[in-house]
Each structure stands twice: as C-alpha cells, then as structure tokens.
Structure 1
Amino acid sequence: MRRPTVVLGILGSQMDIGGRNRWDRWRPTVDLCRHDDLIVDRLELIHGSAHAELAEAVTADIAQISPETRVRLHRLDFADPWAFEEVYAGLLDFVRAYPFRPDDEDYLVHITTGTHVQQICLFLLTESRYLPGRLLQTIPPARRDQGDPGAHAIIDLDLARYAPIAERFAEDARAGESFLKAGIATRNAAFNELIAQIEQVAGVTRAPILLTGPTGAGKTRLARKIFELKQNRHQIRGTFVELNCATLRGDAAMSALFGHVRGAFTGAVRDRAGVLKMADGGLLFLDEIGELGLDEQAMLLRAIEDRVFLPVGSDREIRSEFQLVAGTNRDLRADVTTGRFREDLLARIDLWSFRLPGLRERREDLEPNLDYELERWSQRHGRKASFYGQARAAFLKFATASDAAWSGNFRDLAAAVERMATLAPGGRISVREVEAELARLRAAWSSTPVNVGDDQLTRLLGKERLAEVDPFDRVQLAEVVRVCSAARNLSDAGRTLFAASRLRKRSSNDADRLRKYLQRFDLEWADIHPEDA
C-alpha cells in the first residue's frame, strides 16, 4: 500500500504569481502537483502575511488541477528573508513544532521557491535530519508559455548510499592532510590525527588558530601551509604575513603591528602600514605571541574582535579583515596566572588550539622527515643528495635513540642534513660525514641541555603541589620528566635512567622502578604522555 506523500515548501512570492494567463505560465508550487509520477497527498505551504492572498489563490488553483492534494497554509513572517540567522531560527522552530510521522508518511522538501537563504536553510535542516525527508527540486520546461509542468528530481541526502561521493570527500580530506604535511608520509598516529583535525578546522573557519609546541616543531611552516590550503580552495584572497613577536620592543612593537603615521615618534618620517593592515583579506601569523607586551595585547584583542585598530599617532581607525594564526612555545595559561598574558586575549585565540609535538615525541617520523630534508637540499642546490646504506642506518640509529635530544627539533635535523650533504663528495653521504655530524650534535646538545623547567612541572603537578617539592627533588624530577618525554614507553625511559645500575645488575625491572618513582609525586606515564592515555 502506498504511503501518503507530504511536500513542505515555501510560497514563491514572484514565481507563483497567477493572473489571467496563469495556466500558460510555469508556477513551481502549482505545477509540482501536475506530475503523473508524483502524487502529492498534502502540501504544507509556508508564506508571509504580506502574501496571504496569493497563498489562497495558489491553494484554489491546486484544488482545480489536483483535487486529491490537501493544502495547509502556515503563516511565518521574517523581518528580512535574506538574514540567515533569522530565517534558520524561524524555520527550525517551525520544524521542531511540526508533528512529523515518518513511519506513516513520506516527506519531500521543495527547495525551488523562496529566497536563496530560505532554500539553503531548508537544505541544512534536511541534511541534519531535522526535516526527515528528501529534497524535491522542480525544473521549468524549455518553453514556459505552453502549460508544460516541467520536470522534477528527488534528492536523497543520505551520503552513505553514494559510495563514490563519500570516497571523494574522504580523498579530498586526505589530500588536504598530505598538503599540510608537505607531502611527508608521517607515521606517528597522534600527529596524523592532529593534522586531520587542523585540515578540518582550517577548511571551514576564519576564527583564530593557536599553534603551541617547542621551538622548531614546525609552527611557522604549518601556518604557511594552512594559508596555502585556504588559498587553493579559494577561501582567502589576501596574502600571508608573518611576524615574530619576540623581535619587537617598545614603539617598534606597536608600529610593526598596527603601523604609524608620520611624526608619531622620533624617526617616523613617513606613514607605515603595520602587519595587521598588510594582512587585510589574508592570513596573519604572529609567532611567539606570548612575547607581546600587555599594551600590544589589548590592542590586538580589539583588532581581532572588532576588526579595527588605531595606528600609532593616528586618530582615525583602520579596518582589516584577517585570519589570525598565533604560535607560541610558552605556557600561556601559566602566563595568565602570573599576569604576563591577558586572559581575555587567550580566551579569544584559544578557540582552536593545537599542540605540535617535538621531534623527540615523533621518533618514527624521523626517517620520512630525513628524506624530505634531503629532497629540499637537492632542490636548493640542483644536485642529488643521498646516503650510502651503512651511513643512513648509522644516522637513523643515533637519531631515534632515546638519548638523542633534538633540542632544536626539525631545525636541528634540517641543519644536520645541510652540513652532511654539503660536505659529502658529490652529495653522497658516507659514514665519515655521519660520524662527524653525530659528534657535532652531541657537543651542541651537551652545551645546551634540554630542561623541562617549571612550566611543565607546573602543568603536571600544579603550582601548589610543586611549591611543596624540595628544590633538590625538583631538579631530579625535572630530569626524569625530560627523559620520559623523549622516550617511546616506560621501559625505554627506565633503561635510560637506570643504565648504570642495570650494568651492575642492581635493577631487575627498570619500568617498575620508574613507575614507583613517579608515584611518589602522584604521577603516571599517561600524565607525561597524554596521547598514550
């Protein structure tokens, strides 16, 4: 037995107009009831108060051509039928109040009439299943003056039924993720998931994005890739503008950010546009944003929220529409506690926050990044760079060991490849170049030891608990956390920390010994490595 078909639509205030020759014209709402292969049992027709008379006339015409169709009119007024928020809210309230019976009736949503905004809202409500039906599109005939009802098409938005479309979406997402990673086939699962989230967010929002993580983790490169991805998708029209806030001091900070007018201060001999204006319509990357002074932070907050700011020495506001990507290696929440960073600014830029892990946390990605740096060297110098097999194995063994600090992260790796490839005859890196580079890295890392510092201990323990730890124990705990941060697992960290006693056969279970040490401070491995939790 056929179930009743119910169509929900919006009256076309122009397209559905009647008149003396109305039967010779194509009128979408009337003609959708004239198709032999589409029986409309009930039409739920939404209209505004100003078009009540037209709605009654359309109802009467449908009664003539399709007596089996029952028309129910719903008066719904919009102050502005082109205002997205108002239209969506009004239609959503209507849909929520409507007594749908999907087990007993089939629903079609007519999206041919109404303003484009109303059509989009009906689409979104159907896609999100607030409207439990399929889309109905009616199409005018080739000649609109011959009384032909035209054609119609029914669209089911259940994409699970369209495997090629779903696969295309997935393929596009994978391509975006690969682009953000510069084509590097990274293997770290947590990092790949992070990039997938960034690709999803970057593709749909112009809200600020905060990239955190240690120096050299790749924040600048990722910010530029986000810009290029949005540019390739025609989501941004301006340029990429970059500024390292750690280089700014005094008047120069205000001028670099917001610009200045001639005579604003000594040396201001001409007007200057700051980076906020230069980034109008584009993407502004403020690296080391935590180094900005409080005055600059206050002005930046207003520029983000209101899109306006005052250049130094000017009494005329400048407007700039830019997307902000901020980078920092600082713990901004701790800086808020100490008064160094504004809480309201952090709240504004922390909507989308992503922490980029250091190289020591992604040791399985060392090999693909090594190949990437070799390819970059080859492109810069116009000749091939590669390893002899034994040399490559020696370098990777060192690079992935738990005691390899990689304090400069990917900057250290890029510099190491640059030195080895440059010194190698013909760009073919041998064991000799590798051994020389390993000695250089060990010396550099020993002179600039990687410390955890109070920031990470504060994150792990909290300020009150950390204050209760004796300075002697704090130094020891910081070293333990540093080793754990760089290790793959508890056993790996234990072998590094208790290497001497293990050689003397005084330790039977390094992992258990380390676990008990951490428990003294109510810490677990997952606290240091939340990605493994």
Structure 2
Amino acid sequence: MGSVKRVVIGLLGTKLDGGVEPNRWDGWRPSVSLFQHEELLFDRFELLAEQQFSHLQNRVAEDVRLVSPETEVRRHVVDFGKDPWDLAAVYGALHEWARDYTFDPEREEYWVHITTGTHIAQISFFLLVEAGYVPAKLIQTSPRSIQRSSDPAGRYAVIDLDLSKYDALSTRFARDAVETTAFLKSGIATRNAGFNRLIDRIEQVALRSQAPMLLCGPTGAGKSQLARRIFELRKQRGGLRGSFVEMNCATLRGDTAASALFGHVRGSFTGAQKDRPGLLREADGGLLFLDEIGELGPDEQAMLLRALEDKTFLPVGSDKPVSSDFQLIAGTNRDLRESVVSGRFREDLLARIHLWTFELPALKQRREDIAPNLEFELERFARANGKQASFNKEARQAFLKFAEAADTLWSGNFRDLNAAITRMATLAPRGRIRVEEVDEEIARLRESWKRPGSTADAVDCISLEGLLDDEIDPFDRMQLAHVVAICRKSRTLSEAGRELFSVSRKKRAVTNDADRLKKYLAKFGLDFERCRA
C-alpha cells in the first residue's frame, strides 16, 4: 500500500451478498468480490446497511476479513424509512450519511461501489458522487457470465466522473444556456445581478412549462418585449406552432371587449356584419400576451378563466363553444392582490395565472444596465430609421452621469430611455450625438417628469448634479433634494427654514430656523445661495 489509503464505500447487497452455508464461496457476491482481485487492494471498507440486515452485514464483514485481512471493515447503519424505493428518502439518508462522514481527500482515495442495494440506492449514490458530496470514483462489479459460480471474483469497471474529460460537452451545455438567456435579454449584456437571475429563472420556466406566466412591473419595464422573446424562444425550440398575439387590456372597453378577445358571430349585436374569430382563436397553438390584465372587466375575466381551464369558450352571440389551445402570458403594473381585495379582479383567475409570477424591476432599480442598453437603443434606432447614430466620448459620459445618478427618476422606465435616444439620434448632426444634444435632452426629461401642482414630484425632479463634490447615500440624497427644492422656491434662508422646520420649531423656546438650515447645508459643503443658483 502507498502513503495514500484507498477506501471503498458500499451498500450491503441484501440478496446477492447473502448466504451462510460453506458453498456461499462458490457463487459471486458483489461486496466480497471487490476483495477477490489481487490487483484491487483497499485499506478500508465502509459497509452501509439498514438495521434489520445487521446480521448479514456482520457475516459479510467477516468474509471480507477472511479474503483480505489487511482491509479494515467499518459497519454503518442507514435508515431508508418504510420504502427503500422512495428516491427522496433514500437520497436524503445517504446525503446525511455523506455529510456526517469525515472525508480526507489529501490522505485517502475514495471509491463508491454501485452494484449493491436497490436501483434507487445506486442512483442516489451516483448523484451524490456526481454532485461532489462524495469525492470518489465509482466502481461497478458484475459476474463474468450468467452462471455466477463460474468465477466468484467476477469482473469490475471503474467509472471516473471527472467532467474535465467531457469539456466539449459541458462547454456546449454552458454555451447553450448563455445563448438562451442572452436571447431573452435581446443580446444586451446586462449587469444587474438580480435581473440576470430573474432571466435565468424565466428561461427555465419558458422551456419546461406551458402554464400561464404573470409578468409584473411598472409601465415601460419591458414586459411586452420579454413576452415576445419568450415566444420566439419557444418557437425556435419547437414548443409552439402558432402565432404571437398581443393585446393591451386597457384598450378594451364596453361591448367590444368580449368580441375582441373571444370573437362574435354575425348579427350578435349592432354592427356585427360578419363573424370575428377573436384573439384567443388567433393564438391557437401559440402565445397570447394580455398586457394590463387587471383592466379586464368582470365578464371577460370569467370567460378567460373558462378558456384557460377548459380550452373552450363561447364567442359573443354563439351557443356553440369553440376551442383554442394557447399559452397565456399576462402583464400588469398593478398589485392584483389588492385588486382582488377591492373586488376588481377575480381571485380564482389570479390563482390560475400566478403559478409563475416574475417581477420586472424598474429602470431606476437597475441603473448599471443603462450603459449596455444604450447600444441596443442605438441599433434599434438604426433599424427603424435606416441611419446610424452614435455618441462622442464626452456626450456618452455626460449622458451616463445623468442617467445613472440616484436622483434621476426614469418615470417611464425603458420607454423614457428609448425616447431619449431616439430624440438625440434624430437631432445629432451627421449622426454624431454631442454634449449639446445631451444637455438639451436632460432638460427635456426633467421637464417631462414634473407634475404641476404636485410638491412631491417637483422635489423628485430636483437634481443635485453640480452641487456635490462627492457621492452620498441615497437616503441623504433624497432628503437633501427636498431641502434644495424648498431653498429654490424660497426668497430667504429664514423662509426656507420656517417651512422645513414648521413642526419642530413649535416645540422650541428659541427658534433660529435659518441657523439650523445653514448648519445642515454645511454638512454637504453647500449654502443657501449655491442651492438657489
């Protein structure tokens, strides 16, 4: 034996390892056969068995010592529960044993014998080795022929799960996964970790499930574009044969709502001069995206629920049901749970569509993704308008400084970003966006985010750009933005201080609002005149 000890781990074979008569040595017994090969030497045998087979376990341990006196046999008890064919129970028991076992790969080399035990136990050991919970190679034994007595030692084969030997295969799988998620992100190399995890999960669901999906998030967060990419992905992978059909439910009103979704028959109402198939039938075999599903009326909600559950529905004015097998993706910028409480949305419909619910973050929650999205928006502009546009270096830096700042609202999310790029690219001389176009666009965006009569929104639009030398925490930034807004609309320092400290000043014997405000601004290197400027 060398300095590194060789250890084999195996389950007791309750059938094949059996036998107490002297002739048991004539047949092939998998656990004992491990030690009947002269070239296969082990320092230790970890023999696992359930409690009720302890007598047989002892017998096999004694026989191994007879065959291989230099091998130490250690016996372990495992509990597979009532059903040794229950994968979860068996895997859990072996996982627990492996977790408690002290592995020392620097001093010991491990092998797992996968011939004994039920098929479920063998699969479980295989998975534990593959996942790295047991740092071992696999060894498989078998008789040399159907006649077990022909050779008690039988034969063996070593299965090494070193995946480095399968680099081409594993690289291909990794590349496919990266390409799939990149496809869902329209090829944009997004940097926000939370968003990337979200896309990874959506990719798994899109390729494995045909159940409805619910995409939540503010208007402009990209729900419609993501729904279309999911459709295109499933179409590529052979999961869908039909079309992508999209409708914003906020545009459906009155008697035409049910007709648009479910179709109608000729003469069912005034103006119905011919049959109309409806969006659900158009989506047969494909994908139906209903954006702002919370805007659907109660009757349409009930009809949609039936269509999802039974794959059938009644067109308006018809007593003959029609069928359509489609996948639904719903979008909403509302909290549908609140809509259920207020009676605006059916609880049973929400239960049906929220099996897979994904919350898309607002643009201001993933500011690090603005930079990679710039190129995407410029490419989209080029495709739509037939001409190229790009930023010069200074203009790009100026726009990103504004776009990525914590106090930049992006109220319209990606719609605002798309509109901003479109305007700058359109106005750029010879397709080159300069600082002049950026400054003009920044002013335009700030103005568009203001809401007349709303103090809160006016404060939100305050930018601290140019006022601060260093970055500050978002908490301080929001508080300071409010203070700056009050200073800008006040004529004097005292007037601003009175408004800012209107509550606490009543509790003071001596009030000096101007001094309090002056000291607060000084913490950030500011004064009243600079704020007003």
Contact kept, 8 Å, 2:137 with 2:158, in 1: the verdict is no
- Cross-structure match for 1:404: 408
The separation in 2 between residues aligned to 1:126 and 1:364, in whole angstroms, is 42
- Kindly state the Cα deviation for residue 399 of structure 1 after the two structures are TM-superposed: 2.2
- Kindly state the Cα deviation for residue 384 of structure 1 after the two structures are TM-superposed: 1.8
RMSD: 5.3
How has the CA–CA distance of structure 1 residues 94 and 216 changed in structure 2, closer, same or farther, with 3 Å as cutoff? Answer: closer
The separation in 2 between residues aligned to 1:4 and 1:288, in whole angstroms, is 58
How has the CA–CA distance of structure 1 residues 482 and 211 changed in structure 2, closer, same or farther, with 3 Å as cutoff? Answer: farther
- Cross-structure match for 1:193: 197
TM-score (norm 2): 0.61
The separation in 1 between residues aligned to 2:441 and 2:415, in whole angstroms, is 14
Structural mapping, 1:94-109, within 5 Å = none
- Kindly state the Cα deviation for residue 382 of structure 1 after the two structures are TM-superposed: 2.8
- Kindly state the Cα deviation for residue 293 of structure 1 after the two structures are TM-superposed: 0.4
Structural mapping, 1:132-147, within 5 Å = none
**In the alignment, does 2:179 pair up with 1:179?**
no
**In the alignment, does 2:446 pair up with 1:442?**
yes
Q: Which runs of 5+ in 1 are unaligned?
A: 9-88, 111-117, 138-151, 452-474, 514-533
How has the CA–CA distance of structure 1 residues 7 and 323 changed in structure 2, closer, same or farther, with 3 Å as cutoff? Answer: farther
- Kindly state the Cα deviation for residue 175 of structure 1 after the two structures are TM-superposed: 1.5
- Cross-structure match for 2:283: 279
- Cross-structure match for 1:491: 476
Structural mapping, 1:392-471, within 5 Å = 392-446=396-450, 448=451
- Cross-structure match for 1:233: 237
**In the alignment, does 2:390 pair up with 1:386?**
yes
Q: Which has the larger radius of gyration?
A: 2
- Kindly state the Cα deviation for residue 247 of structure 1 after the two structures are TM-superposed: 0.8
Contact kept, 8 Å, 1:310 with 1:316, in 2: the verdict is yes
Contact kept, 8 Å, 1:109 with 1:135, in 2: the verdict is no
Q: Which runs of 5+ in 2 are unaligned?
A: 1-5, 14-84, 102-110, 141-156, 463-471, 494-513, 525-533
The separation in 2 between residues aligned to 1:320 and 1:128, in whole angstroms, is 44
The separation in 2 between residues aligned to 1:153 and 1:284, in whole angstroms, is 52
Q: Secondary structure at the match of 1:194?
A: helix
- Kindly state the Cα deviation for residue 345 of structure 1 after the two structures are TM-superposed: 0.8
Structural mapping, 1:33-44, within 5 Å = none
Contact kept, 8 Å, 2:8 with 2:113, in 1: the verdict is no
TM-score (norm 1): 0.61
Q: 1:221 aligns with which of 200, 203, 225?
A: 225
Identity %: 54
The separation in 1 between residues aligned to 2:208 and 2:393, in whole angstroms, is 45
- Cross-structure match for 2:31: none
How has the CA–CA distance of structure 1 residues 91 and 255 changed in structure 2, closer, same or farther, with 3 Å as cutoff? Answer: same
Alignment deviations for residues 325-367 of structure 1 (CA, whole Å, 9 cap, x no partner): 1111112111111000111111111111111122222222222
The range that moved more, 199-208 or 168-177, is: 168-177
The separation in 2 between residues aligned to 1:268 and 1:123, in whole angstroms, is 63
How has the CA–CA distance of structure 1 residues 476 and 440 changed in structure 2, closer, same or farther, with 3 Å as cutoff? Answer: closer
Alignment deviations for residues 32-87 of structure 1 (CA, whole Å, 9 cap, x no partner): xxxxxxxxxxxxxxxxxxxxxxxxxxxxxxxxxxxxxxxxxxxxxxxxxxxxxxxx
Contact kept, 8 Å, 2:283 with 2:324, in 1: the verdict is yes
The separation in 2 between residues aligned to 1:196 and 1:313, in whole angstroms, is 44
- Kindly state the Cα deviation for residue 6 of structure 1 after the two structures are TM-superposed: 9.6
Structural mapping, 1:475-486, within 5 Å = none
Structural mapping, 1:245-264, within 5 Å = 245-264=249-268
**In the alignment, does 2:336 pair up with 1:332?**
yes
- Kindly state the Cα deviation for residue 253 of structure 1 after the two structures are TM-superposed: 0.9
AA in 2 matched with 1:312? V
AA in 2 matched with 1:198? I
